[in-house]
Amino acid sequence: MTPAFDELLRREHAESGQPSIAAAVTSGGRTVWSAALGIDDGRDGRPVTPRTQYRIGSITKTFVAVEVMRLRDEGLLDLADPIARHLADVPFGHVTIAQLLTHTAGLQAETNGPWWERTPGVDWGTLMSRPPRLAHTPGTRFHYSNVGYAVLGRLVEVLRDRPWFEVIDDEVLAPLQMSRTTYAPDDDAAVGLSRHPHDDRLMIEPHHDARAMAPAGQLWSSVDDLVRWAAFAAGDTGGVLTRSSWDEMVVPLAVDDRPDEPWATAQGLGWRVWPGKSRGRRVGHSGSMPGFLAVLMAEPATRTGVVVLTNDTHHLGDVAVALLDAASEAAPAPVESELTVPSDVAALVGDWYWGAAPFRIEPTADGFHLSDAARRRHSRFVREDDHWVGLDTYFAGERLHLRDDGAIEVATFVLSRTPYDPEVRHPGGLDPRGWH
């Protein structure tokens, strides 16, 4: 597929006219292609490489979100906590951590100071001294908020008692060997550029330490480094996050409903989620800062992902989608190995009945799948302590247990091995005439 990837990148560079562009593709947990075209700074014409750093903008938010989930998993916070439980100095203390992660807190999009992306940043106290307001009632709609992620970055600092990026560097980047993802650029980083709307003249954009707003869009990275984060978005968390927490992060929770594109994308806990094509949803995030554009997108079902970076403020086409389409189509079909079914799962496998409605349990690699004949109510189940818990769809989060009368029960559903088995205690009892 390398020639196809090369051609897609060449076409994007020619049609969009960026000073430079770099991209990489991951499949099956490894980098299968990377390339870069153009010059990195608009001054001395140095060619870019896949190791050239670009500013990645709001992709920064996904790192902050993962660290918040790590704090949750350690029991240091609950996603339902009002933010005032941890940060006493915010004027909107009743909004929850989950609402901040999903951009449903109703918080205004930007700061009350000057354009924070292009001016020197301020400290936390100064940011809160110009109180951000709630533009919407919390929990009522999706409204993207950069300020909300400044708050989440501050939350990380308070709970870890050190700067947010130090925490992410130690707990997320280092375990994933992402040494080229940094708070500030190195000496060879691409320079942010804007192109005149009517000709090919370029303007160098300034960049500053965003300080309190940095968790919303500060970081720099290269495609060779950030492609590992694309693999993370595809589900390869490398032990940084549990699989169940990753699954939780990529549930589409808040629909970004647009008049021209209704229900085309949604927000999870830090990640954007798209419906995708025939092989399932897509997960990722985009980023923009003056002089830079970035896109990271993955398809968990095929374990493929892409990252595209450019030092151009306004010109980036759909090359990330095209690269991911090509990578997804080329990805090998998953190999179904023979399952080793534990005895407690084997005892459940087969036909069951909710009253007269047929259900079936089939084994999976880590548990089993329960579904009705029409698949209106179904879920994967995995072991959690002394019970089974649903992972997705209708029974997500619900506990299933085997009763002493041989039935299984989940969310008041009582399932027996035969339709309305008279030996099973059914809610409301059975007519004494039985089947007639």
Question: What does the pLDDT read at residue 276?
Answer: 75
Over residues 115-138, mean pLDDT: 95
Q: Does residue 143 or residue 199 have the better pLDDT?
A: 143
- Please indicate, yes or no, if residue 430 is contained in any of the structural domains: no
pLDDT tens for each residue of 62-71: 999 999 999 9
Structural domain includes residue 424: no
Residue 179 has pLDDT above 90, yes or no: yes
User: Residue 254: helix, strand or coil by DSSP?
Assistant: strand
Beta-bridge mates of residue 221: 54
Residues 255 and 370 both lie in one domain: no
Q: Is residue 244 domain-shared with residue 278, that is, in the same domain?
A: yes
Domain boundary, last residue among 298, 330, 362 = 330
381-426 confidence digits (pLDDT tens): 999 888 899 988 899 999 999 999 999 999 999 999 999 999 999 9
pTM of the model: 0.90
In this structure, the answer to whether residues 379 and 411 fall within a common structural domain is yes
Over residues 269-295, mean pLDDT: 92
CA pair distance 253, 268, nearest whole angstrom: 5
Chain-centre distance for alpha carbon 64 = 11
- Are 222 and 250 within one domain? yes
Do both 185 and 112 map to the same domain?
yes
Radius of gyration, alpha carbons of the chain? 25
Task: Give yes or no: residues 168 and 225 share one domain.
Answer: yes
Q: Which domain holds residue 15?
A: 2-330
Together in a domain, 322 and 369:
no
Q: How many CB atoms lie within 10 A of CB 113?
A: 14
Residues 47 and 196 in one domain: yes
Domain boundary among 300, 330, 360: 330
pLDDT at residue 278, as a whole number:
65
Tell me: do 138 and 170 sit in the same domain. Answer: yes
Identify any residues that bridge with 220 across adjacent strands, giving them in sequence order.
Answer: 55, 182
Total of domains in the chain = 2
Closest residue by Cα to residue 16 from 324, 213, 295, 251: 295
- For residues 122-133, average pLDDT: 94
